[in-house]
Amino acid sequence: MLQQSSCCCDSFGFRPCSVASKTKSAFSCYMDLKDKNKLLPFASSLSLKWPQLNRNPVLACRASRGSHVTRVGKDDLPIHGVAEVLVGVLGGGQLGRMLCQAASQMAIKVMVLDPQENCPASKLAYHHMVGSFDDSATVQEFAKRCGVLTVEIEHVDVETLEKLELQGVDCQPKASTIRIIQDKYLQKVHFSQHDIPLPEFMQIDDLEGAKRAGDLFGYPLMIKSKRLAYDGRGNAVAKSEDELSSAVTALGGFDRGLYVEKWAPFVKELAVIVARGRDNSILCYPAVETIHKENICHIVKAPANMSWKIRELATDIASRAVSSLEGAGVFAVELFLTKDDQILLNEVAPRPHNSGHHTIESCYTSQYEQHLRAVVGLPLGDPSMKTPAAIMYNLLGEDEGEPGFHLAHQLIARALCIPGATVHWYDKPEMRKQRKMGHITIVGPSVGNVEKLLDSMLNEESSESQSAVAPRVGIVMGSDSDLPVMKDAAKVLNMFGVPNEVRIVSAHRTPELMYSYALSARERGIQVIIAGAGGAAHLPGMVAALTPLPVIGVPVRASTLDGVDSLLSIVQMPRGVPVATVAVNNATNAGLLAVRMLSVCDADLLSRMSQYQEDTRNEVLTKAEKLQKDGWESYLNP
């Protein structure tokens, strides 16, 4: 067989591909991250050039069975695209389906291996091979047709992957990573060796060992299966020593392979999606909060409502955990946040994950696009959020068969009435209770806003409540005596179509109301606060001390000192408590300043502000022209 070579796009940061030996298959070109002496000539700044033989894999009818392939004349068709290589995915469930959707937008072709002819990915994949992803012969046959092999489920035949890697097949992430992840006890051992914080754990081989673990860790005690445990399967809780035996039996006995973890008294479950490139570069998505229903991820809130310090700690732990593994791709790191602000790693998935579904609508690069970028060798995309907040709701089967479909479709119909909602239906042929049938993502200006929209969808509220627009600017004052001045800010905001709210929250008479308003404003979607300031101007300063949002103070003219005391109070706020201000009684300018602040990230508002300036300019020019033409006497006495 002729020796093959391939090259990567160095300008995009691609790592070099190795030269396959003469004994390797024509389909065995693979990427070598370590051998820098095997750099090949630069081929293209836009695509990965794979060997001609590898560009023409055997393609069968849309769904072929195992090694019994029916050729349909596509053998000589080139694989055009940014990566001229077929991406093979072991598994064709909903994750595979969404990988195919992302691939179709990127000019990347994906083929899947799944035992079900009508698996979710089957209708979207470039090719679907029907067969088991844990059958060695089938996986080997499948691998011959792919340029790079990846997974959407970790419960695959890892021994076969290791053999394929020795033959030169490009597996991402590496088989060594899959082996570690498949065994949750081995996961814990691996991460403990890399100083990743974990709940305490130990292996148990018999009832006496379980009792010793109970004595050591206390109760409740979490007992887990080492393998094939996900969505709550393979986990059991013993609340006392008397419950140990029944918990072990529920998990299939000690022959199943069990270990125990010390109970983690967490206050929140978090997750961080981490992308790792072929060059070992790491990018992390914002941490999210996950809420489970019967041990299945039910709701994901993005970003997680926690301090910046905790967010950074979670991101650091997730990044270090993934850095300890081998291979490229997207990894989901599940974490516990304890009541004393510790972050403990729960487990890692070497693939796209339920906790990252929201990224399709909420981030510049979805986790599915990111996984394809990583395994193919393209530059990693921007993982940051392009919307302030998102919430993902898993559509879990509520009933068996047709009644379950009916309930799901009713919910989808309500979701279609929700502003900012997107429905994803996995097209699974059978409905079962608690089965993941789809998901709904809602994006909006704040977590509080999207939570309200989700509640209205689930509670079947009227379309009027569902379409209510959350205010972006809060106008507050200490007394209704300030309203004649502060109404001008509301008029300006209404003119620009900026949703706003007007509230009385006295810093002196109702300090608890002012306190709760300032603390909750951001969560409710408020982006700017305009505060009327009378007398000593306590309200703007106290609000600014309680919220990270920008605060604009409006000095209100009082019966004494003509509002100058308010103005001076605002401009002398202590360091670290910034409050912008405008002229005395000039709430109009406060409204205009709020619009300009919002327009930094709002192209429509920016355009409207430009038009406003143009209109005011033209108004002045018209008056000047009239004055010049008619003279001042006629101008003043029309």
Q: Is the pLDDT of residue 83 over 80?
A: no
CB 183 within 8 A of CB 160: no
DSSP string, 7-36: B--GGGTPPPBPPBPTTS-TT---B-SS-G
Say what the pLDDT of residue 231 is.
Answer: 57
**Rounded Cα–Cα distance for residues 87 and 90 (Å):** 10
Across the range 14-31, mean pLDDT stands at: 35
Say what the pLDDT of residue 203 is.
Answer: 93
Comparing 469 with 76, the larger pLDDT belongs to 469
What are the pLDDT digits (tens) for 375-412?
Answer: 999 999 999 999 999 999 999 998 999 999 999 999 99
Reading the block at residue 113, the tokens are 């291996």
Across the range 424-450, mean pLDDT stands at: 92
Say what the pLDDT of residue 445 is.
Answer: 84
User: What confidence tier does 447 reach under pLDDT thresholds 50, 70, 90?
Assistant: confident
CB 167 within 8 A of CB 395: no
Q: Is the pLDDT of residue 606 over 90?
A: yes
Measured CA angle at 380 (ends 134, 48), to 5 deg? 75
Nearest in space to 182 (alpha carbons), one of 353, 354, 347, 323: 347
Say what the pLDDT of residue 448 is.
Answer: 85
Nearest in space to 169 (alpha carbons), one of 153, 149, 142: 149
Strand pairing of 288-293 and 266-276? antiparallel
Which amino acid, residue 54? Answer: N
Least confident of 43-47, 311-315, 426-430, 630-634: 43-47
**Rounded Cα–Cα distance for residues 207 and 223 (Å):** 12
What are the pLDDT digits (tens) for 536-561?
Answer: 668 999 999 999 999 999 999 887 77
**Rounded Cα–Cα distance for residues 332 and 355 (Å):** 8
Say what the pLDDT of residue 19 is.
Answer: 34
Contacting residues for 42 by C-beta, under 8 A, at least 6 apart: 7, 9, 10, 11
Phi, psi of 59 (to 5 degrees): -115, 130
User: What confidence tier does 601 reach under pLDDT thresholds 50, 70, 90?
Assistant: confident
Q: State the burial class of residue 603 (Cβ atoms within 10 Å of its Cβ: 0-12, 13-18, 19+).
A: exposed
Nearest in space to 141 (alpha carbons), one of 242, 261, 238, 58: 58
Q: Is the pLDDT of residue 525 over 70?
A: yes
Q: Is the pLDDT of residue 422 over 60?
A: yes
User: What confidence tier does 61 reach under pLDDT thresholds 50, 70, 90?
Assistant: very low
Across the range 167-181, mean pLDDT stands at: 96
pLDDT > 70 in the chain, percent: 85
Could you give all domains of the chain from N- to C-terminal order, each with its CATH number? 82-171 (3.40.50.20), 200-262 (3.30.1490.20), 268-436 (3.30.470.20), 473-601 (3.40.50.1970)
Q: Please state, rounded to an integer, the average pLDDT across all residues of the chain.
A: 85
Reading the block at residue 157, the tokens are 């035949």
User: What confidence tier does 615 reach under pLDDT thresholds 50, 70, 90?
Assistant: very high
Q: How far is CA 141 from the centre of its chain?
A: 35
User: What confidence tier does 329 reach under pLDDT thresholds 50, 70, 90?
Assistant: very high
Q: Is the pLDDT of residue 270 over 70?
A: yes
Say what the pLDDT of residue 5 is.
Answer: 36
Measured CA angle at 299 (ends 295, 300), to 5 deg? 115
User: What confidence tier does 230 reach under pLDDT thresholds 50, 70, 90?
Assistant: low
Contacting residues for 346 by C-beta, under 8 A, at least 6 apart: 199, 264, 269, 334, 335, 336
Say what the pLDDT of residue 224 is.
Answer: 92
User: What confidence tier does 29 reach under pLDDT thresholds 50, 70, 90?
Assistant: very low
Phi, psi of 423 (to 5 degrees): -100, 135
Across the range 492-513, mean pLDDT stands at: 93
Q: Is the pLDDT of residue 80 over 70?
A: no
**Rounded Cα–Cα distance for residues 183 and 237 (Å):** 19
**Rounded Cα–Cα distance for residues 589 and 158 (Å):** 66
Q: Dihedral sign, CA of 341, 232, 273, 298?
A: negative
CB 9 within 8 A of CB 46: yes
Question: Which stretch, 230-239, 303-312, 459-468, has highest mean pLDDT?
Answer: 303-312
Reading the block at residue 612, the tokens are 């406003």
Q: State the burial class of residue 74 (Cβ atoms within 10 Å of its Cβ: 0-12, 13-18, 19+).
A: middle
Strand partners, 259: 203, 224
Q: Is the pLDDT of residue 25 over 80?
A: no
Please name the residue ranges forming H helices in 194-235.
207-217
